[in-house]
Structure 1
Amino acid sequence: MELKKIDSDFSVCKVENLEQTDLSRDFMFVSKTDEEISVVCRTCDVPGNTTERSDGFRAFRIEGKLDFTLIGILAKISSALAKNNIGVFAISTYNTDYILVKNSDFDKALEVLEEKGYRITD
């Protein structure tokens, strides 16, 4: 399986509303529940009405379109990283999954996954 590094710093944010969220940006993930609105985006694109944020993430994505019948892809990746004390923040889209880890763990995470047989591309 191939993983593609995304060359950007990311932030995880809580926002008041989506008025200042630029949905035209390449990486803008929005989650809304009855309790909150969360945005994950490049750090340079953090909305101005952010009330809480956590900076310092890097990301990679699982390449290709993942069929919904595939089981355990995200579990295998997160398990391998957890065994090496690397926390993950996962985002799923219709096509694939994105894995975010703290900057300080990024190189180690890629090393662990390469050792598990994943192919890493730029």
Structure 2
Amino acid sequence: MAKSATLTLDLLKENFVICRLSPSSSLPSWAFTGPFYSITKTNDELSIITMDNNQLPKDIQCERNWKCFKLLGPFPFDITGVLTSVLNPLAKADVGILAISTFDTDYVMVKDNNLQVAIDVLKQHGHTINV
């Protein structure tokens, strides 16, 4: 992907929560809510990103108030620079992110309190944001 390439991103309307469970935990039913969720298990943790429906158990370690951009793909695996074209401008603006990749595309999450800054910065770098 050329440095000057621009992308189109959809801002998903839902609010998301990122939860950390023990790696030995079984998958809870609340994880499978909404149009988007991501589940990653490692030797160290079970990480769940799901729609924040305010019905999560109180004893779960969670970070709330995340918004999610979907980079409109699909992007072939041999294309380079897709994520960096979004992440570099956000990093320079001190906007922290969580990136998730799927077979077809990438998703970039930002905290709700950084959403407008993220939108403004991405637009300034030529990206189109569908809200």
Matches within 5 A, 1:32-47: 32-44=41-53, 47=56
Using the TM superposition, give the Cα deviation of residue 30 of structure 1 relative to its aligned residue in structure 2, in angstroms. Answer: 0.3
Asked if 2 retains the 8 angstrom alpha-carbon contact of 1:20 and 1:47, the reply is: no
Q: Secondary structure at the residue paired with 2:73?
A: coil
**Which residue of 66, 71, 76 corresponds with 1:62?**
71
Q: Considering only aligned residues, what root-mean-square deviation do their CA atoms show, in Å? A: 1.8
The aligned amino acid for 2:81 is: G
Stretches of structure 1 lacking an aligned partner (at least 5 in a row): none
Deviation track 1:29-54 (CA, whole Å, cap 9, x = no partner) reads 00001111100011117654863100
Quote the offset at 1:110 in angstroms.
0.8
Q: Which has the higher strand share?
A: 1
- Shift in alpha-carbon separation, 1:46–1:75, aligned structure 2, 3 A: farther
- Mean CA deviation greater in 23-32 or 52-61: 23-32
Pair 55,26 (structure 1): closer, same or farther in 2 beyond 3 Å: same
Give structure 2 stretches of 5+ with no counterpart: 1-6
Deviation at 1:77, TM superposition (A): 1.0
Return the TM-score normalized by structure 2.
0.84
CA distance in 2, matches of 1:53, 1:119: 30
Query: Which of 2, 6, 11 is equivalent to 2:12?
Result: 6
Percentage of matched positions with identical amino acids: 26
